[in-house]
Amino acid sequence: MRELTLIGIGTGNPDHVTFEAAKAIAAADTVLIPRKGDQKSDLADLRHQIIAKVAPDAAPRIIEFDLPTRRGDGDYLAAVDEWHDAIAHAWTAAAKDANTVALLIWGDPSLYDSSLRIASRLDPMPNIRVVAGITTLQALTAAHAIPINEIGAPFVVTTGRQLRDHGWPQGADSAVFMLDGHCAFQTLNGADFDIWWGAYLGMENQLIRSGPLDLVCADIIATRATARAAHGWIMDAYVLRKRR
C-alpha cells in the first residue's frame, strides 16, 4: 500500500459526497469496505451505492473485509487499543496487493472516528491523505435548522459516556453528544435543558425530535429503541442547551 486516502462521505446521504471525495474515489485502484455483520449490511451497501454513483466509469476494485469486534470487558482504553491493532492488521491483509487504497469514512475522519489513529499503526506506513466530509454535528444542526453556538459562546462536543460518568461539561451552555447508546441525557434534570436529537441523519429514514428535555425524553428513548430494533443498528446524536 503506497497511499491511503481516508474519504469523509457524510452521514448516509450520497449527496453529501463532495466533488473532491468523488475524484479521490475514482483515483483509487482499490476501495476497502468493512463488513459489520448481517444486521449492519446496509452500511456496506450504502458505500457500494456511493461508489457506483460518484465514480461510475472508474470502477475501482472493491474489497470487503470483516471488521474485528472490540471486546466489551475489562479496561475500555486497553480494549480500544487492541481493537485498533486488529483493524490495522485487517486493512493490511485486505489491501496486500493494492497500490492506492481508499476507505470511505462515515462523517469525517476528524470527529469521533479512529481511522487516522488506526492508519498510524500501519507498517510500512503509506502516504496518508484525508478528504473532509460532512460531520454528524453539521447534519444534526442542519436537520433542525439551528446554530450550534449562541452568539460569541463556546460549545462542547463530547460523548454519552462522558455525560454519564462525569455529568454536564463544566462551563458549557451548549453541548453535542455522540456515541451514546444508553441515552445518558436521562441523568440530567430535564427541566433545565432543551434537546435537539437526530438519528440516521441525512438518510431516507432520518428521525428528529426536539423540545424541552423533560417533555420529549420518553419519546426519544422509545423512538430510538423502536428504530434500532427495526434496522438492527442506529447512529444518533443530540444537542443539549441549558435553558435561560
pLDDT for the residue numbered 39:
62
110 shares its domain with 26: yes
8 shares its domain with 122: yes
pLDDT for the residue numbered 196:
98
Domain boundary among 103, 134, 165: 134
CA dihedral 57, 61, 62, 66 (to 10 degrees): -170
74 shares its domain with 17: yes
152 shares its domain with 110: no
Contacts of residues 195-198 at CB distance under 8 Å and 24 or more positions apart, as own/partner, are 195/220, 195/238, 195/239, 195/240, 195/241, 196/140, 196/141, 196/144, 196/146, 196/238, 196/239, 197/236, 197/237, 197/238, 198/139, 198/140, 198/143, 198/144, 198/236, 198/237, 198/238
| pLDDT tens digits, one per residue of 128-146 | 999 999 999 999 999 999 9
Nine cell digits for residue 45: 451497501
Residue 244 to residues 173, 191, 194, 197, Cα–Cα distance (Å): 10, 11, 10, 20
pLDDT for the residue numbered 27:
93
Query: Model pTM?
Result: 0.89
150 shares its domain with 178: yes
128 shares its domain with 22: yes
DSSP per residue, 53-95: HH-TTT--EEEEEEPPPPP-SS-HHHHHHHHHHHHHHHHHHHT
Domain boundary among 118, 134, 150: 134
| pLDDT tens digits, one per residue of 218-238 | 999 999 999 999 988 999 999
193 phi and psi angles, rounded to 5 deg: -135, 155
CATH number at residue 109: 3.40.1010.10
217 shares its domain with 118: no
Q: What value does the mean pLDDT take over residues 163-167?
A: 96
Helix (H, G, I), strand (E, B) or coil at 104: strand
116 shares its domain with 180: no
On whether the CB atoms of residues 100 and 3 are closer than 8 A, the answer is yes
126 shares its domain with 19: yes
- How many domains does one find in the chain? 2
Q: Which domain holds residue 113?
A: 3-134
**Locus of grid cell 436529537:** 197
Domain boundary among 134, 157, 191: 134
- pLDDT of 166 strictly over 90: yes
Spatial separation of the C-alpha atoms in residues 94 and 160, rounded to whole Å: 33
143 shares its domain with 237: yes
Sign of the dihedral through C-alpha 156, 159, 162, 168: positive
pLDDT for the residue numbered 40:
66
186 shares its domain with 129: no
123 shares its domain with 232: no
pLDDT for the residue numbered 55:
85
| pLDDT tens digits, one per residue of 115-131 | 999 999 998 899 999 99
